[in-house]
Amino acid sequence: MPTTHDLTKLSLFKITTAREVILYARHVVTGRAMASAAEGLPYAPCAGVRLEAGSPALIDFDDDGRAVHFTGGVVLSVEQLPGPPFEPLP
């Protein structure tokens, strides 16, 4: 993730599950993403996520080339926070 603090370059999401609140951000130019598995935890780079309502939250964190899988609670809601719109990458 770029070391920018310019939030205008990040698409931000708040995912509420039955167990935690996940924060997810993706850089609009590079496509690099990071996530926090619960409010108050630091962000970490991630390679992939599944954050669909009614399914368990899944995050594949990238820990120096090793995949670290996080399975959270069932997703109750996904809310995009103010910032640039999320656009799927090709």
- Tell me the CA distances in angstroms from 50 to 28, 35, 73, 77, one per residue in order: 19, 12, 12, 13
The amino acid occupying position 39 is E
Of 8-17, 19-28, 30-39, 64-73, least confident by mean pLDDT is 64-73
Is 54 in contact with 75 (CB distance < 8 Å)? Answer: yes
Q: Show me where the domains of the chain are located.
A: 7-80
| Residue 57 or 5, more confident | 57
pLDDT reported for residue 2: 43
pLDDT reported for residue 46: 87
pLDDT reported for residue 6: 61
Cut 0.85: pTM above it: no
Can you tell me the distance from the alpha carbon of 34 to that of 47, in angstroms, rounded to the nearest whole number? 8
